[in-house]
A and B are shown apart, each in its own frame.
Chain A
């Protein structure tokens, strides 16, 4: 099992450009999440999806959109990138794995907006 995978690993954008961060999980989990991690701020929830076809806002949703394409895939889109969106983005899925029901994280996407 690959677990949670994310692409790309790194990305540099100019202000105003758009991009989509991709996430996929092979653990058959229903819930998926997008977080951003900034120094001194910890992990902050952007959006989550409790099941295929549903999405909900988290703590910091402004400037982002999401799509739950199917049970495996959950993408995060920046329509018009801003320097404040420079961060490390993590995708996670939640479910039973190894006997514990909690969240499991991907390796992250490092995004720089110039």
Chain B
């Protein structure tokens, strides 16, 4: 079993919809949680970073962490075609090494 599981998709939704992306994990020692966005043929870029259970909001993006269920989510409100990308969850015990999910490919249809 992988330490981090992420549905690879692909996921296609119409513009303006709310998108929900999810990851589950098995290592209860993880305490830092991140979402990276990766456009086609580019490097991953940090989108959201959190280290506690609960919600963190940044504009149209909300990151949710539920440590009791070992489950993290990223919500995108009012999705735009520019949100079309692969979204990678990542987590770590300390800050040194990250464990990544396989990524979910998202397409927003105009």
Contact = CB atoms under 8 A, between A and B. Distances in A.
A41 B102 contact: yes
Interface residues of B, number: 21
A100 B100 contact: no
B38 to A, nearest CB: 9
B72 interface: no
Interface of A: 4, 31, 40-43, 45, 48, 50, 58, 90, 94, 100-108, 110
B96 A42 contact: no
B97 A102 contact: no
Given A42-B6, A43-B44, A105-B44, 8 more contacts: A42-B102, A43-B98, A90-B43, A102-B32, A102-B98, A104-B46, A108-B43, A110-B41
A31 B43 CA distance: 18
B43 A106 contact: yes
Given A102-B34, A102-B95, A103-B98, A40 B8 contact: yes
Nearest to B98: A103
B100 A108 contact: no
B45 interface: yes
A41 B6 CA distance: 11
Contacts of A102: 32, 34, 46, 49, 95, 98
Contacts of A45: 97-98
